Structure 1
Amino acid sequence: MTIKISCGICGKNYKVQDAAAGKKLRCKECGEVIRIPEPEAEFGDGDDFSKLLDDAVEEEAKAKTIRRPVRKPMVKAEKYKGDEDGPVTRKKENNYTQDLVQTILFPLDPANLFTFVCIWILLCMKELILPFAGIRLGFLATLIILGWYSNYRFNVIYEATSGRKELPELTPEDGYFIPVVKWAATWLLVHLPAYLYLGIVLYLAIQNAGEAGGPGFLPQDVVDFLPLFHLGVFVFLYCAGLFFWPILALCVAVGGFETVFRIDLMLLTIVKSMGAYFFTAGAMFLTSVVYFFTVFMALQLGVVGIIIMIAIILYFEIVALRMIGLYYHHFKTRFAWHWG
């Protein structure tokens, strides 16, 4: 004899042996647990079927009030192919080498090339046109261009700290006067030991020379006048300042000028990221060598040489400044401070 039952949730019908009466059965359709009832007894003509009908109606009402569980389909998830921020289309962050390659090739981007040409034209005007515009007008215009370009230099470092590939906009957000003071102050701070040493040595040498007099004002006259030892010490101190300048410029560009007094944090950061910092400082040394070489060559070529010189120096300077920002972007976990 079999017992006929149906799921109260989905209505699936089942047949089981009467021996399973009182046990439980899980519905294969919806997963509901069904209790197998006792086999129905055969009723005679005198049985009260009205009571059985009332019980059946009551059970049916209970079944309809039970909330059917919502079950998630067990299907294999497909890869997301939605908007550009999805996991399929989201680009991974470039590593340090890729960012360096993009920095070296920055003029290949049309927007970067346009910005580069605009800066190049302004710097050429400063060197070739403004000297003939009169003392007051030429000095004021030169000061404005220097202030704007000093502000732009710090912006190049700042934008690179976030990993941005494009050059910053040309708008001078911080004005003209304050940026040029900050820029000059950073170089003065790092080279102050070298120039102090040079000044003391020249003062003592002139005192000892007496009536023979001291050297002229040209750099070549100073080099010929100084002994080799003192000249070597000056070059060492000057190179040490050049080596320290990238971390100082980074502090001013990102943390503000007040951070220049935390020399302890700067030295600790250099030690903790020695390899990356040597590579970054090397870019500044290369830029300085290119600067002195191109200036010497420009004097031999005239106006055309000056125009070419400005373009070459501008390119190397932008690359070096962006490398300072990328140094912080990729190695900030090793820094002794964190600006977010």
Structure 2
Amino acid sequence: MTIKVSCGMCGKNYKAPDKAAGKRLRCKECGESIKIPEPEVEYGDDDDGFSNLLADAVELESKSKTIRRPVRKPMVEAEKYKGDEDGPATRKQENNYTQDLIATFLFPLDPANMFTFVMIWVLLCLRDLILPFGGRIGLMGYIIILGWYSNYRFSVIYEAAAGGKELPELAPEEGYFIPMLQWAGTWLLVHLPAFLYLGIALFLFFSNLGEDAGPFLTPEEVVDLLPVFHLGVFVILYCLGLFFWPILALCVAIGGIETIFRIDLMLLTIWRSKASYFFTAGGMFLTSVVYTFTAIAAIQLGFVGIIVMMAIVLYMEIVSLRMIGLYYHHFKKRFAWNWG
């Protein structure tokens, strides 16, 4: 016996086994998360079937009025329902990558998105401009906001990957500490070759200087004295890290932390979607360039410059994270994984 279930976003019909009741499946058409209901039961003369149906209708109505939250849970496979694929409710909706990208760049025009953006901006200003001077309490608040924002970044990717048009809610759903470690770990992993090479080059440089390599050399002087070749290799390795970070972030946000070790599947996925992936990775490069120039400008402009810089960087970061999610949403059939 199977359970029939329909997608609330696009109307696609599926069927799932009885043992999957209560779990969730991912719609293959629009990416919506669908909860599999309990199997239908026939009511006898003594059962109040009308009351149960009315209660279910009220519950579904209340859920339809709530804001959807990204739910990162394992999905169950379901067979495609062979009922009425030709009906109007199951016709495939237009899913245009270009239109979604335009909507992503214009996300602040939505009042709800703008409110969320301003709230994040305020929290980041609080984290970087006020809490560092708050002693132990400030340090604790700094870590909490850092962990929350790490989790929110992954939620932005997940929401865009599911086809969502709005930014996720501000309320955290998976804690603070683990997402912070995951976010820092992904960046450390992709940039580890670059910084290892730089560390070895600096070690050899100081070894050759001998006694002159004391604390009298500033980092700027070290950069000036290092051969251009070593600096060039470092920049190339760093850029390669930026290039591979989007697929690594998708692995953590959607596939699970264990997928980050499948470098072969990452490379195969990138190869299958070369043009779209290069465009997505370009968003990360552009964000890094904007961050560098705004950081230099903020130093000269002072306190006000830092606040403006954080708004610009936050906008670019949200856009680039949504681009990563849209890359999966529109090209997931070319992925080497099957993530639902």
TM-score (norm 1): 0.72
The one of the two structures with greater contact order (alpha-carbon pairs below 8 A, sep at least 6) is 2
Aligned residue for 2:18?
none
State how 1:285-300 maps to structure 2 within 5 Å. 285-300=285-300
Aligned residue for 2:244?
244
- Structure 2 residues without counterparts, runs of 5 or longer: 1-86
Aligned residue for 1:310?
310
Q: What is the deviation of 1:89?
A: 12
Aligned residue for 1:262?
262
Q: What is the deviation of 1:216?
A: 6.7
Aligned amino acid, residue 139 of structure 2: F
State how 1:10-25 maps to structure 2 within 5 Å. none
Aligned residue for 2:10?
none
Aligned amino acid, residue 121 of structure 1: V
Aligned residue for 1:102?
103
Is 1:171 aligned with 2:171?
yes
Aligned amino acid, residue 338 of structure 2: H
Q: 1:207 to 1:115 in 2, by over 3 A?
A: same
Aligned amino acid, residue 317 of structure 1: E
Query: C-alpha distance in 1, partners of 2:143/2:216?
Result: 28
Query: C-alpha distance in 1, partners of 2:111/2:216?
Result: 48
**Matched residue SS, 1:286:** helix
Superposed CA offset, 1:54-88 (max 9, x none):
xxxxxxxxxxxxxxxxxxxxxxxxxxxxxxxx939
TM-score (norm 2): 0.72
**Matched residue SS, 2:338:** coil
Aligned residue for 1:322?
322
> Is the CA contact 1:215–1:221 (under 8 Å) kept in the aligned structure 2?
no
Query: C-alpha distance in 2, partners of 1:272/1:188?
Result: 26
Q: 1:131 to 1:256 in 2, by over 3 A?
A: same
Q: 1:214 to 1:321 in 2, by over 3 A?
A: farther
Aligned amino acid, residue 262 of structure 1: R
Q: What is the deviation of 1:217?
A: 7.8
Is 1:114 aligned with 2:115?
yes
- Counting matched residue pairs gives 254
Is 1:207 aligned with 2:183?
no
Aligned residue for 1:145?
145
Query: C-alpha distance in 1, partners of 2:186/2:91?
Result: 39
Aligned-residue RMSD, C-alpha: 1.8
Query: C-alpha distance in 2, partners of 1:250/1:88?
Result: 31
Query: C-alpha distance in 2, partners of 1:318/1:312?
Result: 10
| Rg (Cα) greater in structure | 1
Aligned amino acid, residue 332 of structure 2: K
Aligned residue for 2:71?
none
> Is the CA contact 1:216–1:222 (under 8 Å) kept in the aligned structure 2?
no
Query: C-alpha distance in 1, partners of 2:121/2:265?
Result: 36
Q: What is the deviation of 1:127?
A: 1.4
Superposed CA offset, 1:164-221 (max 9, x none):
1000011111111111100000000000000000111111111111011067786523
Q: 1:264 to 1:87 in 2, by over 3 A?
A: same
Aligned residue for 1:282?
282
Query: C-alpha distance in 2, partners of 1:249/1:325?
Result: 9
Aligned amino acid, residue 284 of structure 1: M
Q: 1:262 to 1:217 in 2, by over 3 A?
A: farther
**Matched residue SS, 2:93:** coil
Query: C-alpha distance in 1, partners of 2:218/2:185?
Result: 23
Q: 1:263 to 1:215 in 2, by over 3 A?
A: farther
> Is the CA contact 1:205–1:214 (under 8 Å) kept in the aligned structure 2?
no
Q: What is the deviation of 1:128?
A: 1.3
Q: What is the deviation of 1:257?
A: 1.2
Superposed CA offset, 1:144-174 (max 9, x none):
0000000000000011101110000111111
> Percent same amino acid at aligned positions?
73
Aligned amino acid, residue 187 of structure 1: W
Please identify runs of 4+ aligned residues in structure 1 that moved more than 2 A: 86-94, 214-222
Q: 1:223 to 1:194 in 2, by over 3 A?
A: same
> Is the CA contact 1:269–1:335 (under 8 Å) kept in the aligned structure 2?
yes
